[in-house]
Amino acid sequence: MKNVTFDAKLRAEDMYEFNLYHAYTSSQGWMSFVFAILAFVATAVTWGSVSMGYSIAYIVIGILFLVYMPIILKLRSKAQVSGVLQGTLHYSLEDRGVVVSVPGTEVLVTEPNQPQEQEAVLPWNLIYKAVTTKNELLIFSNRVNAYVIPKREIEDIYPDIKEALEDKLPVHRRKLKW
């Protein structure tokens, strides 16, 4: 496998899209949707046979289940893209795994005066899955956490990235489309 390197900058909108994907592909997201539908069905079934206050309460509950999660995720996304994530991240797909570093951050290694960029290495065997969505490449380290890489940042190099992921990950751990 040849090394593939690229830089990507994450925006709050990218994190919001990831959070929506994660929420609505999990049971929590589906349950909020089901409860909203049940609240609206309860409104329709009981309309006229219960007081107007109950009907309004059912409608409000349904709206809350539909609107609450996206609003909370939007607010959380803005907070998540802060500090290190505000800058450009440098990615390298290597034999040892997915290496992520932040240009300009240095840490001293064991030899004095030999600065080296801080980096995080996710070995290939620890990658939970790699998925592409409409606008992102997601490389999960577990069921919850992922490297979020906007497609707009990797359009030119995506074929090389896909080849590296296909080479290093088994079929059941990748769902790559473009």
Q: Could you give the number of structural domains in the chain?
A: 2
pTM of the entire structure?
0.78
Same domain flag for 65 and 26: yes
User: How confident is the model over 51-107, as pLDDT tens digits?
Assistant: 888 889 999 999 988 888 889 999 989 888 877 677 889 999 999 999 999 876 554
Please tell me the distance from the alpha carbon of residue 89 to that of residue 102, in angstroms, as a whole number.
5
Average pLDDT rounded to a whole number, residues 135-151 = 95
Of 25, 56, 80, the residue that ends a domain is: 80
Same domain flag for 131 and 49: no
- Considering just the CA atoms, what is the radius of gyration of the chain in Å? 22
Range of the domain at 49: 15-80
φ/ψ region of 104 (left if φ > 0, alpha if ψ in -120 to 50, else beta) reads: left
Q: What is the CATH number of the domain that holds 108?
A: 2.30.29.30
User: How confident is the model over 5-42, as pLDDT tens digits?
Assistant: 999 999 999 999 999 998 888 787 788 889 999 999 99
